[in-house]
Amino acid sequence: MDAPMSPPVKSLTTERMMVQARAEAGEAPPTDYIVKDESQHPLDAPPPLTAPLPVVHLGHRDEAEEIKASLQSWGMFQVIDHGMAPSFLDELRDVARAFFKLPIEEKEKYSNIRDRKFGQEGYGNDEIIVEGQILDWTDCLYLLAQPEDARKLELWPTNPNSLRDVLHEHTMNTKKLSENVLRTTAKSLELNEDLFVSHLGDKFTIFARFNYYPCCSKPDLVFGLKPHTDGSLITVILPDKDVEGLQVMKDGKWITVTTSPHAFIINIGDQMEIMSNGIFKSPIHRVVTFSDKDRISIAMFCLNLPGKVIGPAEELVNDMRPRMYKNLKVKDYLEVFFQRFSQGKRAIDWA
Protein backbone atom coordinates (compact mmCIF):
# COMPACT_ATOMS: atom_id res chain seq x y z
CA MET A 1 0.00 0.00 0.00
CA ASP A 2 2.65 2.49 1.01
CA ALA A 3 5.60 3.58 -1.05
CA PRO A 4 8.80 2.98 0.89
CA MET A 5 10.05 5.99 2.81
CA SER A 6 13.63 6.93 3.49
CA PRO A 7 14.72 5.64 6.86
CA PRO A 8 14.33 8.24 9.60
CA VAL A 9 17.70 9.59 10.69
CA LYS A 10 18.62 10.82 14.14
CA SER A 11 17.30 14.30 14.67
CA LEU A 12 20.21 16.52 13.71
CA THR A 13 18.15 19.56 14.43
CA THR A 14 19.18 19.81 18.07
CA GLU A 15 22.58 21.09 16.89
CA ARG A 16 21.01 23.69 14.68
CA MET A 17 21.89 27.30 14.06
CA MET A 18 18.98 29.61 13.33
CA VAL A 19 18.78 30.97 9.78
CA GLN A 20 18.49 34.49 11.11
CA ALA A 21 21.79 34.07 12.97
CA ARG A 22 23.47 32.95 9.76
CA ALA A 23 22.00 35.87 7.82
CA GLU A 24 23.03 38.40 10.47
CA ALA A 25 26.57 36.98 10.50
CA GLY A 26 26.67 37.50 6.73
CA GLU A 27 27.08 33.78 6.21
CA ALA A 28 26.36 32.34 2.76
CA PRO A 29 23.86 29.47 2.87
CA PRO A 30 25.66 26.20 3.69
CA THR A 31 25.34 23.37 1.23
CA ASP A 32 22.37 21.71 2.97
CA TYR A 33 20.29 24.75 1.97
CA ILE A 34 21.30 24.64 -1.70
CA VAL A 35 18.82 23.08 -4.10
CA LYS A 36 20.89 20.47 -5.93
CA ASP A 37 18.62 19.83 -8.89
CA GLU A 38 19.28 22.72 -11.27
CA SER A 39 15.92 22.37 -12.98
CA GLN A 40 14.30 23.11 -9.60
CA HIS A 41 16.15 26.32 -8.80
CA PRO A 42 14.01 29.16 -7.49
CA LEU A 43 14.73 31.59 -10.29
CA ASP A 44 13.74 29.68 -13.40
CA ALA A 45 14.39 31.07 -16.82
CA PRO A 46 12.20 32.79 -17.85
CA PRO A 47 11.55 34.26 -14.39
CA PRO A 48 8.16 33.59 -12.77
CA LEU A 49 5.28 35.81 -13.82
CA THR A 50 3.57 38.06 -11.31
CA ALA A 51 -0.23 38.21 -11.06
CA PRO A 52 -2.88 39.29 -8.55
CA LEU A 53 -4.80 36.46 -6.90
CA PRO A 54 -8.49 36.30 -7.79
CA VAL A 55 -10.69 38.13 -5.29
CA VAL A 56 -13.60 36.40 -3.57
CA HIS A 57 -16.26 38.82 -2.29
CA LEU A 58 -17.55 37.03 0.80
CA GLY A 59 -21.19 37.77 1.55
CA HIS A 60 -21.90 38.90 -2.01
CA ARG A 61 -24.31 37.20 -4.38
CA ASP A 62 -21.60 35.55 -6.48
CA GLU A 63 -19.42 34.32 -3.63
CA ALA A 64 -19.93 30.61 -4.33
CA GLU A 65 -19.15 30.92 -8.05
CA GLU A 66 -16.10 33.05 -7.26
CA ILE A 67 -14.79 30.48 -4.80
CA LYS A 68 -15.38 27.61 -7.18
CA ALA A 69 -13.68 29.37 -10.11
CA SER A 70 -10.65 30.45 -8.08
CA LEU A 71 -10.19 27.09 -6.35
CA GLN A 72 -10.41 25.24 -9.65
CA SER A 73 -7.88 27.45 -11.38
CA TRP A 74 -5.53 28.57 -8.57
CA GLY A 75 -6.36 26.61 -5.42
CA MET A 76 -6.20 29.96 -3.64
CA PHE A 77 -7.75 33.40 -3.58
CA GLN A 78 -7.70 36.66 -1.64
CA VAL A 79 -10.44 38.02 0.60
CA ILE A 80 -10.76 41.66 1.49
CA ASP A 81 -14.16 41.71 3.18
CA HIS A 82 -13.03 39.41 5.99
CA GLY A 83 -14.38 41.57 8.80
CA MET A 84 -10.98 42.29 10.39
CA ALA A 85 -9.90 45.92 10.72
CA PRO A 86 -6.82 47.05 8.75
CA SER A 87 -5.37 48.27 12.05
CA PHE A 88 -5.61 44.73 13.43
CA LEU A 89 -3.75 43.33 10.43
CA ASP A 90 -1.03 45.93 10.93
CA GLU A 91 -0.81 44.98 14.58
CA LEU A 92 -0.47 41.31 13.73
CA ARG A 93 2.36 42.03 11.30
CA ASP A 94 4.03 44.37 13.79
CA VAL A 95 3.92 41.71 16.49
CA ALA A 96 5.49 39.16 14.14
CA ARG A 97 8.25 41.59 13.12
CA ALA A 98 8.86 42.61 16.73
CA PHE A 99 9.22 38.99 17.85
CA PHE A 100 11.79 38.12 15.19
CA LYS A 101 13.68 41.36 15.94
CA LEU A 102 14.35 40.19 19.49
CA PRO A 103 17.83 38.85 20.24
CA ILE A 104 18.14 35.13 19.46
CA GLU A 105 18.67 34.32 23.19
CA GLU A 106 15.34 35.90 24.02
CA LYS A 107 13.54 33.91 21.32
CA GLU A 108 15.29 30.70 22.37
CA LYS A 109 13.28 30.86 25.62
CA TYR A 110 10.44 29.54 23.47
CA SER A 111 12.58 27.02 21.62
CA ASN A 112 10.94 23.90 20.22
CA ILE A 113 13.94 21.95 21.45
CA ARG A 114 13.58 20.92 25.11
CA ASP A 115 16.04 18.61 26.83
CA ARG A 116 17.61 17.95 23.44
CA LYS A 117 14.29 16.67 22.13
CA PHE A 118 12.64 18.16 19.09
CA GLY A 119 9.06 19.29 19.65
CA GLN A 120 6.61 20.35 17.00
CA GLU A 121 5.72 23.63 18.70
CA GLY A 122 7.81 26.65 19.60
CA TYR A 123 10.49 28.81 18.02
CA GLY A 124 12.66 26.91 15.59
CA ASN A 125 12.71 25.47 12.15
CA ASP A 126 11.78 22.24 10.45
CA GLU A 127 13.06 19.01 11.86
CA ILE A 128 15.72 17.18 9.89
CA ILE A 129 14.37 13.69 9.50
CA VAL A 130 15.85 12.35 6.30
CA GLU A 131 19.40 12.18 5.04
CA GLY A 132 20.12 14.84 2.44
CA GLN A 133 17.07 16.93 3.34
CA ILE A 134 17.27 20.37 1.71
CA LEU A 135 16.73 23.01 4.38
CA ASP A 136 14.58 26.09 4.00
CA TRP A 137 15.86 29.61 4.58
CA THR A 138 13.33 30.39 7.27
CA ASP A 139 12.78 30.43 11.02
CA CYS A 140 9.35 30.20 12.54
CA LEU A 141 7.24 30.31 15.65
CA TYR A 142 4.75 27.46 15.46
CA LEU A 143 1.95 27.20 18.03
CA LEU A 144 -1.26 25.27 18.49
CA ALA A 145 -3.84 28.04 18.88
CA GLN A 146 -7.02 25.93 19.03
CA PRO A 147 -8.45 23.94 20.85
CA GLU A 148 -7.78 26.54 23.52
CA ASP A 149 -7.38 24.03 26.33
CA ALA A 150 -4.56 22.29 24.44
CA ARG A 151 -2.40 25.43 24.12
CA LYS A 152 1.11 25.13 25.47
CA LEU A 153 1.25 28.57 26.98
CA GLU A 154 4.84 28.18 28.14
CA LEU A 155 5.76 28.42 24.44
CA TRP A 156 3.66 31.53 23.83
CA PRO A 157 6.04 34.49 23.96
CA THR A 158 5.34 37.22 26.52
CA ASN A 159 7.69 39.47 24.58
CA PRO A 160 6.44 41.45 22.66
CA ASN A 161 3.86 41.72 25.40
CA SER A 162 0.85 41.95 23.10
CA LEU A 163 1.67 38.74 21.20
CA ARG A 164 -0.52 36.42 23.24
CA ASP A 165 -3.58 38.67 23.10
CA VAL A 166 -3.15 39.40 19.43
CA LEU A 167 -2.76 35.72 18.58
CA HIS A 168 -5.79 34.82 20.69
CA GLU A 169 -7.88 37.44 18.91
CA HIS A 170 -6.58 36.31 15.54
CA THR A 171 -7.50 32.72 16.34
CA MET A 172 -11.10 33.75 17.04
CA ASN A 173 -11.14 35.79 13.82
CA THR A 174 -9.66 32.92 11.82
CA LYS A 175 -12.24 30.51 13.18
CA LYS A 176 -15.06 32.78 12.00
CA LEU A 177 -13.48 33.51 8.64
CA SER A 178 -12.63 29.89 7.90
CA GLU A 179 -16.14 28.71 8.83
CA ASN A 180 -17.58 31.34 6.55
CA VAL A 181 -15.30 30.29 3.68
CA LEU A 182 -16.03 26.60 4.29
CA ARG A 183 -19.79 27.15 4.15
CA THR A 184 -19.44 28.97 0.85
CA THR A 185 -17.08 26.29 -0.45
CA ALA A 186 -19.64 23.59 0.41
CA LYS A 187 -22.35 25.59 -1.39
CA SER A 188 -20.12 25.93 -4.42
CA LEU A 189 -20.00 22.11 -4.59
CA GLU A 190 -23.78 21.94 -4.13
CA LEU A 191 -23.32 20.24 -0.78
CA ASN A 192 -25.13 20.94 2.46
CA GLU A 193 -23.47 24.19 3.48
CA ASP A 194 -22.59 22.82 6.92
CA LEU A 195 -20.86 19.71 5.64
CA PHE A 196 -17.28 20.87 6.27
CA VAL A 197 -17.94 22.88 9.44
CA SER A 198 -19.97 20.14 11.10
CA HIS A 199 -17.27 17.61 10.29
CA LEU A 200 -14.65 19.97 11.76
CA GLY A 201 -16.65 20.54 14.93
CA ASP A 202 -16.55 23.63 17.08
CA LYS A 203 -13.05 23.16 18.49
CA PHE A 204 -11.15 22.15 15.39
CA THR A 205 -7.38 22.36 15.21
CA ILE A 206 -5.77 25.69 14.31
CA PHE A 207 -1.98 25.88 14.13
CA ALA A 208 -0.40 29.34 13.87
CA ARG A 209 2.89 29.68 12.05
CA PHE A 210 4.75 32.99 12.12
CA ASN A 211 7.28 32.74 9.29
CA TYR A 212 10.43 34.81 9.05
CA TYR A 213 12.54 34.70 5.89
CA PRO A 214 15.83 36.55 6.45
CA CYS A 215 17.78 38.12 3.57
CA CYS A 216 19.64 35.46 1.64
CA SER A 217 22.81 36.00 -0.35
CA LYS A 218 21.90 33.16 -2.76
CA PRO A 219 18.22 33.65 -3.61
CA ASP A 220 18.81 31.87 -6.92
CA LEU A 221 19.82 28.62 -5.18
CA VAL A 222 17.84 28.55 -1.94
CA PHE A 223 14.14 28.46 -1.04
CA GLY A 224 12.43 30.30 1.79
CA LEU A 225 10.01 27.35 1.69
CA LYS A 226 10.47 24.59 -0.84
CA PRO A 227 7.53 23.60 -3.06
CA HIS A 228 4.84 21.97 -0.95
CA THR A 229 1.13 21.64 -0.39
CA ASP A 230 -0.44 22.23 3.02
CA GLY A 231 -1.78 19.29 5.06
CA SER A 232 -4.68 21.45 6.26
CA LEU A 233 -8.31 21.69 5.23
CA ILE A 234 -7.74 25.39 4.55
CA THR A 235 -4.98 27.85 5.39
CA VAL A 236 -5.44 31.56 6.06
CA ILE A 237 -2.30 33.59 5.34
CA LEU A 238 -1.49 37.18 6.12
CA PRO A 239 1.42 37.94 3.79
CA ASP A 240 4.03 40.63 4.27
CA LYS A 241 2.64 44.04 3.35
CA ASP A 242 5.65 45.14 1.31
CA VAL A 243 7.51 42.07 0.14
CA GLU A 244 6.07 39.50 -2.24
CA GLY A 245 7.59 36.05 -2.28
CA LEU A 246 4.80 33.49 -2.33
CA GLN A 247 4.58 31.65 -5.64
CA VAL A 248 1.99 29.16 -6.77
CA MET A 249 2.17 26.57 -9.54
CA LYS A 250 -0.58 27.29 -12.04
CA ASP A 251 -0.93 25.47 -15.35
CA GLY A 252 2.63 24.22 -15.04
CA LYS A 253 4.15 27.65 -14.36
CA TRP A 254 5.26 29.41 -11.18
CA ILE A 255 3.45 32.67 -10.53
CA THR A 256 4.35 35.22 -7.87
CA VAL A 257 1.06 36.25 -6.33
CA THR A 258 0.14 39.77 -5.33
CA THR A 259 -2.69 40.87 -3.09
CA SER A 260 -4.22 44.04 -1.78
CA PRO A 261 -2.42 45.17 1.43
CA HIS A 262 -5.29 44.29 3.73
CA ALA A 263 -6.32 41.03 2.16
CA PHE A 264 -5.87 37.53 3.49
CA ILE A 265 -4.78 34.75 1.19
CA ILE A 266 -6.79 31.57 1.55
CA ASN A 267 -5.53 28.33 0.10
CA ILE A 268 -6.93 24.87 0.42
CA GLY A 269 -4.83 21.99 1.69
CA ASP A 270 -4.74 18.24 1.13
CA GLN A 271 -7.69 17.59 3.48
CA MET A 272 -9.95 19.63 1.18
CA GLU A 273 -8.59 17.86 -1.89
CA ILE A 274 -9.55 14.55 -0.25
CA MET A 275 -12.96 15.68 1.02
CA SER A 276 -13.87 17.25 -2.33
CA ASN A 277 -12.88 13.98 -4.04
CA GLY A 278 -10.27 15.84 -6.08
CA ILE A 279 -12.63 18.45 -7.54
CA PHE A 280 -10.39 20.99 -5.80
CA LYS A 281 -6.65 20.36 -5.89
CA SER A 282 -4.41 21.46 -3.07
CA PRO A 283 -2.09 23.99 -4.76
CA ILE A 284 1.69 23.52 -4.85
CA HIS A 285 3.30 26.68 -3.58
CA ARG A 286 6.73 27.88 -2.46
CA VAL A 287 8.44 30.97 -1.08
CA VAL A 288 11.50 32.66 -2.55
CA THR A 289 14.00 34.89 -0.78
CA PHE A 290 15.81 38.12 -1.62
CA SER A 291 19.33 39.34 -1.02
CA ASP A 292 18.18 42.77 0.15
CA LYS A 293 14.78 42.22 1.77
CA ASP A 294 13.55 40.02 4.59
CA ARG A 295 9.92 38.93 4.76
CA ILE A 296 7.32 37.77 7.29
CA SER A 297 4.00 35.99 6.96
CA ILE A 298 1.47 34.60 9.40
CA ALA A 299 -0.19 31.34 8.37
CA MET A 300 -3.15 29.80 10.24
CA PHE A 301 -3.72 26.14 9.38
CA CYS A 302 -7.28 24.93 9.95
CA LEU A 303 -7.52 21.17 10.27
CA ASN A 304 -9.80 18.38 11.34
CA LEU A 305 -8.98 17.01 14.79
CA PRO A 306 -6.32 14.25 14.76
CA GLY A 307 -8.75 11.46 15.73
CA LYS A 308 -11.24 12.22 12.92
CA VAL A 309 -11.54 10.12 9.81
CA ILE A 310 -11.73 12.01 6.53
CA GLY A 311 -12.62 10.85 3.07
CA PRO A 312 -14.42 12.09 -0.03
CA ALA A 313 -17.93 13.48 0.65
CA GLU A 314 -20.37 10.73 -0.40
CA GLU A 315 -22.32 13.22 -2.53
CA LEU A 316 -19.23 13.79 -4.67
CA VAL A 317 -18.65 10.13 -5.45
CA ASN A 318 -20.57 8.73 -8.44
CA ASP A 319 -20.13 6.75 -11.65
CA MET A 320 -18.72 9.76 -13.43
CA ARG A 321 -16.31 10.53 -10.60
CA PRO A 322 -15.32 7.44 -8.67
CA ARG A 323 -13.82 7.72 -5.21
CA MET A 324 -10.25 9.02 -5.62
CA TYR A 325 -9.03 8.77 -2.01
CA LYS A 326 -9.43 6.25 0.75
CA ASN A 327 -10.83 7.13 4.17
CA LEU A 328 -8.04 7.86 6.60
CA LYS A 329 -7.40 9.06 10.07
CA VAL A 330 -6.15 12.66 10.15
CA LYS A 331 -3.38 11.76 12.59
CA ASP A 332 -2.03 9.04 10.26
CA TYR A 333 -2.21 11.35 7.28
CA LEU A 334 -0.27 14.10 9.04
CA GLU A 335 2.47 11.68 10.04
CA VAL A 336 3.02 10.69 6.43
CA PHE A 337 2.65 14.32 5.44
CA PHE A 338 5.50 15.61 7.62
CA GLN A 339 7.76 12.73 6.66
CA ARG A 340 7.27 13.44 2.95
CA PHE A 341 7.28 17.21 3.39
CA SER A 342 10.86 17.05 4.62
CA GLN A 343 11.81 15.18 1.46
CA GLY A 344 10.05 17.69 -0.76
CA LYS A 345 7.46 15.04 -1.67
CA ARG A 346 3.68 14.98 -1.60
CA ALA A 347 1.64 12.83 0.78
CA ILE A 348 -1.59 12.91 -1.20
CA ASP A 349 -0.57 9.94 -3.39
CA TRP A 350 -0.69 7.82 -0.25
CA ALA A 351 -4.37 8.69 0.21
Is the CB of 128 or the CB of 237 nearer to ligand AKG?
237
Residue 77 Cβ vs ligand AKG, minimum distance, rounded to whole Å: 14
Whole-number minimum distance, CB 298 to ligand AKG, in Å? 9
Is-contact 289 203, C-beta < 8 A?
no
Question: Counting contacts by CB under 6 A, is residue 93 touching ligand AKG?
Answer: no
For the bound state, the minimum distance from the C-beta of residue 178 to ligand AKG, rounded and expressed in Å, comes to 15
According to the binding rule CB under 5 A, does residue 270 interact with Fe ion? no
Q: Which is nearer to ligand AKG, 144 or 246 (CB)?
A: 246
**Distance, CA of 311 to CA of 199 (rounded, Å):** 11
* Cβ at position 251, least distance to ligand AKG in Å: 20
Smallest distance from Fe ion to CB 231, Å: 9
Length of the chain as a residue count: 351
Smallest distance, ligand AKG to C-beta of residue 159, A = 23
| Gyration radius of the chain over CA positions | 19
Alpha-carbon distance of 164 to 243, in angstroms, equals 25
Give CA 207 to chain center in angstroms: 9
- Taking the complex as a whole, the smallest distance from the CB of residue 342 to ligand AKG amounts, in Å, to 13
Choose between 246 and 351: whose C-beta lies nearer to ligand AKG.
Answer: 246
CA dihedral 323, 324, 330, 334 (to 10 degrees): 170
| Stretch 272-301 residues interacting with ligand AKG (CB under 6 A) | 285, 287, 297, 299
**Among Fe ion, ligand AKG, none, what does residue 239 contact (CB within 5–8 Å per kind)?**
ligand AKG
x/- contact string, 203-242, with ligand AKG (CB under 6 A)? ------x-x-------------x----x------x-x---
Residue 234 backbone dihedrals phi, psi, to 5 degrees: -140, 160
How many residues bind Fe ion (CB under 5 A)? The answer is 1
Residue (of 290, 137, 282, 139) closest to 210 by Cα position: 139
Q: Which residues contact 348 (CB under 8 A, 6 or more apart)?
A: 229, 270, 273, 274, 282, 325
Check whether the bond before 306 is cis (ω within 30° of 0): no
Tell me the closest approach of the beta carbon of residue 106 to ligand AKG, in angstroms.
23
173/247 with CB nearer ligand AKG: 247
**51-83 burial, b if ≥16 CB within 10 A, otherwise e?**
eebbbbebeeeebbebbbebbeebbbbbbeebe
Nearer to ligand AKG by Cβ, of 137 and 156: the residue is 137
Phi, psi of 98 (to 5 degrees): -65, -40
CB of 143 to Fe ion, least distance (A): 16
Choose one: 7-15, 50-58, 215-223, 224-232; the region binding Fe ion (CB under 5 A). 224-232
Q: What angle do CA 238, 243, 249 make, to 5 degrees?
A: 75
Q: How far is Cα 229 from Cα 284, in angstroms, rounded to an integer?
A: 5
Residue from 126, 230, 240, 273 binding Fe ion (CB under 5 A): 230
- Show the DSSP H helices in the chain as ranges: 19-24, 63-73, 86-101, 104-108, 163-188, 195-200, 270-275, 330-341
237 binds, among Fe ion, ligand AKG, none (CB under 5 to 8 A by kind): ligand AKG
Instruction: Give the DSSP H or E segment for 303.
Output: strand 295-303
Q: Provide the binding-site residues for ligand AKG, judged by CB under 6 A.
A: 209, 211, 225, 230, 237, 239, 246, 285, 287, 297, 299
Q: Provide the binding-site residues for Fe ion, judged by CB under 5 A.
A: 230
